[in-house]
C-alpha cells in the first residue's frame, strides 16, 4: 500500500477503505509518513469530503492510536464545541453525579478566546487536575464524578493531525472536526455522550446548517461506535451567563448550583444534564428533567460539587476574585442590545489575561468580564454595561462598546436551536 495512491484516490473523490485509513493514521503516528503527504491528503478531504463510513473509520483509527481508558461501569460524558462563558461542565457534572450516573470527564485547557474547563478548575487553590488512572476511577466509584486533564497518550494521532491542520488551512472540515472530537471521546471510555454544538458569532460553527451537519456526523459516529449519543444545538450569539474568565466562572457556577445564577446558563445546564441522565439511565427526557430539578433545588448538586473539589485537593474557601484594575463600560446611547460580537468579547477577555494566544501562555485567573446587560436588555445612556477585570493597565472599554449593536426593537433570541438523536 502506498500513501501516494491514497492521496490520488481521495483527490479523485473516491472513498477510502478501512485498511487505507488505518495505514495512513498508523504511518503518521510512527513517523513513517511525512507531513507533506498527510497535508496533501487533508486538503483533499477538505475539498472532497468523506462519507459516513470513512469518517467512522478515521475516528476509530485515531481513537485506537494510543491508550484507551477501560471503564468497568456505564459512564456518561459531555463535550462542548467551545464558546465564551461556557462553564456548563462545572454545573452539570455534579448534578448528574447525584442521579446514579458516573461521569468520567477528561477536559482540556483553553486556547484563543474559548475558555477551558481545566483552567477554570485550576483557578481553585490546590485543585489537582492530574490523577492516575486508579485515582480517577476510584474517585468515580466513590462520588460518581471526576474531572481531569487529558492524558498525553489519548488519541495521539489526533494531536499530530490537528497540529498539522492548524498550519495548513485544513481546520474547517466537518469530517475532520467530527473525527477529532469523537476519537478522544471513544478513547476516554464513556458509552453515553451528550454533545453541545455551539452556533453563532462566538462559535466555530457560525450558522445552523453547518452546526446541524456537524452534529449529525458526530451522532452517526457515536452510533457506529456503540455510544449512545445526542447533540444539542445551542446559541452562542452572546456569551453564556454573565461572567467570562476563570475564577469568575467558577463563582458563577456555584451561583447556579445555589439556584440564583443567570437564566441562560441555568436553562442550558438543565437541558444538557437532563439528556445525560435520560440516555444513561434509559428514562424519558421529562422524567430525567424532574430528577435534575430536584437535586438542583434541594442542594444535593451543590454539595456534590464541593465534594468533587475536596476529593481533588481543592480549597473552595480560598477562591477569591481579586484584580488590580477594574474598568467600567457605560452606555453611550439608548435602546435594545440586539447584537453582541461574542468572539470579539472573548478576545477582549483574553487580552485582559483570561485566555491564551499560544498554548504555553500563562493565564491570569482573576482576569475577565462581568456583563450587566445582554441581548434584548433595554439600556439607557450611562447605564453600566460591563466591568472589565485585569492586572494590566489596559482599558478596553471602547473595544467592548464596539462589539455591541443597539436598536429600537428587541429580536428573537432562542437558547436551544435543535436536538439531534
Q: Tens of pLDDT along 147-177?
A: 998 776 889 999 899 889 988 989 889 999 9
C-alpha 11/C-alpha 151 separation (Å) is 34
Q: How confident is the model at residue 107 (pLDDT cuts 50, 70, 90)?
A: confident
Cell numbers at 311, concatenated: 476529593
**What pLDDT score does 359 carry?**
66
Reply yes or no on whether the pLDDT at 39 is more than 90.
yes
**What pLDDT score does 139 carry?**
97
Name every residue whose Cβ is closer than 8 Å to that of residue 421 and which is 6 or more positions away in sequence: 219, 230, 231
Name every residue whose Cβ is closer than 8 Å to that of residue 47 and which is 6 or more positions away in sequence: none
277 in Cβ contact with 291 (< 8 Å): yes
Q: How confident is the model at residue 343 (pLDDT cuts 50, 70, 90)?
A: very high
178 in Cβ contact with 217 (< 8 Å): yes
Q: Which residue has the cell 461572567?
A: 243
Q: Which residue has the cell 451522532?
A: 219
Using DSSP, state whether 414 is helix, strand or coil.
Answer: coil
What is the DSSP-derived secondary structure letter of residue 112? B
Name every residue whose Cβ is closer than 8 Å to that of residue 55 and which is 6 or more positions away in sequence: 175, 178, 179, 217, 220, 221
The arithmetic mean of pLDDT across residues 370-384, rounded, is 97
Question: C-alpha 199: how far from its chain's center?
Answer: 12
Reply yes or no on whether the pLDDT at 406 is more than 70.
yes
251 in Cβ contact with 321 (< 8 Å): yes
Report, as residue numbers or ranges, the catalytic residues. 79, 158, 165, 180, 184
Cell numbers at 217, concatenated: 456526523
Q: How many CA atoms lie within 13 A of 398 on its CB side?
A: 2
Q: Tens of pLDDT along 255-279?
A: 999 999 999 999 999 999 999 999 9
Q: How confident is the model at residue 116 (pLDDT cuts 50, 70, 90)?
A: confident
Structural domains of the chain in order of their starting residue, each with its CATH number:
3-49 (1.20.970.10), 75-154+187-317 (3.40.1030.10), 325-407 (3.90.1170.30)
Name every residue whose Cβ is closer than 8 Å to that of residue 277 and which is 6 or more positions away in sequence: 96, 99, 101, 283, 288, 291, 292
The DSSP annotation for 158-220 comes to HHHHHHHHHHTT----HHHHHHHHHHHHHHTT-SEEEEEEEESTTSSB-SHHHHHHHHHHHHH
Amino acid at each position: 500500500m502506498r500513501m501516494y495512491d491514497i492521496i490520488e484516490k481521495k483527490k479523485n473523490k473516491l472513498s477510502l477503505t478501512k485498511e487505507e485509513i488505518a495505514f495512513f493514521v498508523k504511518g503518521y503516528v510512527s513517523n513513517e509518513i511525512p507531513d507533506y503527504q498527510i497535508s496533501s491528503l487533508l486538503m483533499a478531504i477538505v475539498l472532497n469530503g468523506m462519507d459516513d463510513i470513512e469518517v467512522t473509520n478515521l475516528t476509530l483509527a485515531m481513537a485506537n492510536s494510543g491508550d484507551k481508558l477501560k471503564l468497568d461501569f456505564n459512564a456518561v460524558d459531555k463535550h462542548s464545541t467551545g464558546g465564551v462563558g461556557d462553564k456548563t461542565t462545572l454545573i452539570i457534572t455534579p448534578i448528574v453525579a447525584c442521579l446514579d450516573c458516573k461521569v468520567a470527564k477528561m477536559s482540556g485547557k483553553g486556547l484563543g478566546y474559548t475558555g477551558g474547563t481545566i483552567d477554570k478548575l485550576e483557578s481553585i487553590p490546590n485543585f489537582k487536575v492530574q490523577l492516575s488512572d486508579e485515582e480517577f476511577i476510584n474517585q468515580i466509584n466513590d462520588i460518581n464524578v471526576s474531572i481531569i486533564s487529558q492524558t498525553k497518550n489519548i488519541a495521539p494521532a489526533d494531536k499530530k493531525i490537528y497540529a498539522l491542520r492548524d498550519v495548513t488551512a485544513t481546520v474547517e472540515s466537518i469530517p475532520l472536526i467530527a473525527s477529532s472530537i469523537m476519537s478522544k471521546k471513544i478513547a476516554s471510555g464513556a458509552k453515553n455522550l451528550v454533545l453541545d454544538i455551539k452556533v453563532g458569532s462566538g462559535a466555530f460553527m457560525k450558522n445552523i446548517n453547518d452546526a446541524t451537519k456537524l452534529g449529525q456526523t458526530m451522532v452517526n459516529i457515536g452510533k457506529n461506535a456503540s455510544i449512545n449519543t445526542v447533540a444539542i444545538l445551542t446559541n452562542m450569539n452572546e456569551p453564556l451567563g454573565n461572567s467570562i474568565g476563570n475564577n469568575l466562572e467558577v463563582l458563577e457556577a456555584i451561583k447556579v448550583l445555589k439556584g440564583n445564577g443567570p437564566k441562560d446558563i441555568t436553562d442550558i445546564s438543565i437541558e444538557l444534564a437532563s439528556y445525560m441522565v435520560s440516555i444513561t439511565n434509559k428514562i424519558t427526557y421529562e422524567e430525567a428533567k424532574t430528577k435534575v430539578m430536584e437535586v438542583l433545588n434541594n442542594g444535593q448538586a451543590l454539595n456534590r460539587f464541593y465534594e468533587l473539589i475536596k476529593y481533588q485537593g481543592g480549597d473552595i474557601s480560598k477562591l477569591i476574585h481579586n484584580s488590580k484594575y477594574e474598568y467600567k463600560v457605560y452606555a453611550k446611547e439608548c435602546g435594545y442590545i440586539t447584537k453582541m460580537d461574542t468572539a470579539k468579547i472573548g478576545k477582549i477577555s483574553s487580552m485582559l489575561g483570561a485566555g491564551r494566544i499560544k498554548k504555553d501562555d500563562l493565564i491570569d485567573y482573576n482576569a475577565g468580564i462581568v456583563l450587566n446587560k445582554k441581548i434584548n436588555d433595554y439600556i439607557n445612556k450611562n447605564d453600566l454595561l460591563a466591568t472589565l477585570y485585569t492586572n494590566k493597565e489596559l482599558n478596553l472599554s471602547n473595544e467592548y462598546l464596539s462589539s455591541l449593536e443597539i436598536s429600537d426593537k428587541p429580536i428573537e433570541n432562542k437558547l436551544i436551536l435543535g436536538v439531534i438523536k
